[in-house]
């Protein structure tokens, strides 16, 4: 039997950050992980997919480099080496996993490998070992729902981790899902020449996005030739493909990118309130049971940086630091080509709340840096309260949107107004100028449009 101030189950970006923060606050901390440190994000999610997307974007830019004055490239001779790209992805993952291992040692966190169950609010069991903790954090993550595959032949459906481990790609892939992960992988595969279709039970792609961003992706996919089957399901398998409803769609593999379901540890004598299958928490990440917290995907939030922020919020609260997490000011990053990022309220949410607002939208097509780089797709959309000008939401479709959004997050965090945004001098030529220009547009004083 071992005693700890804090026991964390799951070593993803929520769990390991919570462990570091707990140790910094003087807690004797145990981190339990049944697979690899870094969790899904580092090993099979965010990091692998980002690296492969960068490889795909570079491949596509080389194919279209003639407009930059580059000659001598035979586009027909270019080949994308999936195996080599995967090896480079693995090299980066191994380096980052070792980095997390180092951080655990540096901060004095005891890492315990194995599957944990909770016998009560303070008792965890890992194999034959019993851990007693003053506080417990559940950070066990999520997985794509597989229920649709129960009637399909074994082997036709691949999970994401299995897919990334492949050394060769099939020619035709059907992706089941219309969420962020499904769209990111579809875009990446299309860039390297794979035939891709999406099947989703919903009526729009990535429904959490502002309608302008979601519509942009839908039209972009249509232009690229990615067929999206809305409000449909994969109903069977035929030679050389699958049935989507009654329609035959050729494919060699179905990739499961369905909406995710919570992975819960075994809870023997513990009853936690839930919502839609995910653990319910308050603004400090407390569950319905005292001293038991939950963070990350298991709470229904599917972004690594949100899990990390939740981990810090939970451990701070244990130490008496009451710093609630404002979910309205958390960035949403999507790694398509071009990228998408957002923070705050969507235009639809503002309308639903009957808030009087102003809107400024500035296209990338007239930004000088975007023109120089040949990356002119997209826009910046700024939404603000009409009376005071407080910024309520920012939505970006652009190259490096996932970097630009940090400025917007700061604006919402500091409750900045359109005047604050437009008074800040943005260097020229930069993509970041589009934020300032959108602010001027919202004020009714556009400069370059």
pLDDT tens digits for the chain (449 residues)? 899 999 999 999 999 999 999 999 999 999 999 999 999 999 999 999 999 999 999 999 999 999 999 999 998 899 999 999 999 999 999 999 999 999 999 999 999 999 999 988 898 999 999 999 999 999 999 999 999 998 888 889 999 999 999 999 999 999 999 999 999 999 999 999 999 999 999 999 999 999 999 999 999 999 999 999 999 999 999 999 999 999 999 999 999 999 999 999 999 888 999 999 999 999 999 999 999 999 999 999 989 999 999 999 999 999 999 999 998 999 999 999 999 999 999 999 999 999 999 999 999 999 999 999 999 999 999 999 999 999 999 999 999 999 999 999 999 999 999 999 999 999 999 999 999 999 999 999 999 99
- DSSP class of residue 81? -
Is 428 in the active site? yes
For 385, list phi and psi in degrees, rounded to 5: -60, 130
Token digits for 106?
A: 């540096």
What distance in Å separates the CA atoms of residue 264 and residue 10, rounded to the nearest whole number?
A: 10
What is the value of pTM for the model shown? 0.95
Laid out side by side, the sheet with 391-398 consists of 332-334, 339-344, 391-398, 379-385, 357-363
What CATH number is associated with residue 349? 3.30.390.30
Residue 155, pLDDT score: 87
- Among the listed residues 229, 317, 426, 428, the single catalytic one is 428
Reference 208, options 331, 310, 305; nearest CA is 331
pLDDT of 162 reads: 93
The two three-digit tokens of residue 69, written as one number = 């004055």
Question: Is the same domain home to 153 and 214?
Answer: yes
Let me know whether 315 and 423 are in one domain: no
Query: Is residue 318 included in any domain, yes or no?
Result: yes
Residues 353 and 423 placed together within one structural domain of the fold: yes
User: Domain holding 57: CATH number?
Assistant: 3.50.50.60
| Beta strand segments in 309-390, E | 332-334, 339-344, 357-363, 379-385
Residues 6+ apart with CB under 8 A from 199: 174, 175, 176, 177, 229, 232, 233, 234, 244, 249
Q: Which of 269, 301, 325 is the last residue of a domain?
A: 325
Q: H-type helices in 225-362, by residue range?
A: 304-318, 347-352
Q: Which of 308, 325, 342 represents a domain boundary (last residue)?
A: 325
In a domain, 447, yes or no: no
* Among 19, 187, 12, 196, residue whose Cα is nearest residue 103: 19
Same domain, 356 and 379: yes
CA distance 325 to 309: 8
Going by their DSSP bridges, the two strands 172-176 and 253-256 should be labelled as parallel
Q: Pairing mode, if any, of strands 391-398 and 339-344?
A: antiparallel
- Hunting for tokens 């400024």 — which residue is that? 360
Q: What are residue 138's phi and psi, to 5 degrees? A: -95, 115
Please answer whether residues 124 and 131 qualify as being in contact, where contact means their C-beta atoms are separated by less than 8 angstroms: yes
208 with 178: CB under 8 angstroms?
A: no
3 state SS of 445:
coil
Among 204, 226, 258, the domain-final residue is: 258
- Same domain for 310 and 423, yes or no, is no
Q: What is the pLDDT of residue 154?
A: 83
Number of structural domains (the chain) is: 3
Structure tokens at 3: 């005693």
How high is the pLDDT of residue 411? Answer: 97
The predicted pLDDT at position 34 comes to 95
Is 448 among the domain residues?
Answer: no
Judgement on whether residues 308 and 346 belong to the same structural domain of the protein: no
Print the domain residue range for 87.
2-143+261-325
């Amino acid at each position: 039997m071992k005693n700890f101030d804090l026991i964390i189950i799951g070593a993803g970006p929520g769990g390991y950050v919570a462990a570091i923060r707990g140790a910094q606050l003087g807690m004797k901390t145990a981190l339990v992980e049944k697979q690899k440190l870094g969790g899904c994000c580092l090993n099979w999610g965010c990091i692998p997919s980002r690296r492969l997307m960068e490889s795909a974007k570079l491949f596509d830019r080389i194919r279209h480099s003639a407009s930059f004055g580059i000659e001598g490239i035979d586009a027909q001779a270019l080949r994308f080496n999936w195996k080599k790209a995967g090896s480079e992805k693995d090299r980066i993952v191994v380096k980052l996993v070792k980095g997390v291992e180092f951080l655990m040692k540096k901060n004095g966190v005891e890492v315990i490998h194995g599957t944990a169950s909770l016998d009560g609010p303070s008792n965890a069991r890992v194999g034959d070992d019993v851990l007693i903790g003053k506080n417990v954090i559940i950070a066990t993550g999520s997985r794509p729902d597989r229920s649709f595959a129960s009637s399909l032949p074994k082997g036709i459906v691949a999970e994401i981790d299995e897919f990334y481990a492949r050394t060769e790609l099939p020619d035709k892939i059907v992706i089941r899902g219309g969420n962020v992960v499904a769209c990111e992988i579809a875009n990446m595969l299309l860039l390297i020449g794979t035939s891709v279709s999406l099947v989703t039970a919903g009526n729009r792609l990535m429904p959490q996005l502002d309608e302008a961003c979601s519509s942009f992706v839908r039209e972009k996919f249509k232009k690229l030739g990615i067929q999206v089957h809305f409000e449909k399901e994969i109903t069977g398998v035929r030679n050389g493909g699958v049935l989507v409803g009654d329609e035959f769609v050729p494919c060699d593999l179905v990739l499961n990118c369905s909406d995710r379901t919570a992975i819960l540890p075994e809870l023997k004598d513990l009853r936690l309130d839930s919502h839609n299958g995910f653990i319910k928490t308050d603004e400090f990440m407390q569950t319905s049971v005292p001293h038991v917290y939950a963070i990350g995907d298991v709470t229904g939030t599917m972004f690594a940086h949100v899990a990390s922020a939740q981990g810090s919020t939970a451990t701070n609260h244990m130490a008496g630091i009451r710093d609630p997490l404002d979910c309205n000011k958390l960035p949403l990053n999507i790694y398509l080509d071009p990228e998408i990022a957002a923070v705050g309220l969507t235009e639809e949410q503002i309308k639903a709340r009957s808030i009087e607002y102003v809107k400024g939208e500035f296209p990338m097509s007239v930004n000088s840096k975007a023109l120089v780089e040949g990356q002119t797709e997209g826009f910046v959309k700024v939404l603000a309260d009409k009376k005071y000008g407080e910024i309520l939401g920012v939505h970006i479709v652009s190259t490096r949107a996932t970097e630009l959004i940090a400025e917007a997050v700061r604006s919402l965090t500091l409750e900045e107004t359109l005047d604050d945004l437009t008074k800040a001098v943005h260097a020229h030529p930069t993509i970041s100028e589009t934020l300032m220009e959108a602010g001027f547009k919202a004020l009714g004083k556009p400069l370059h449009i």
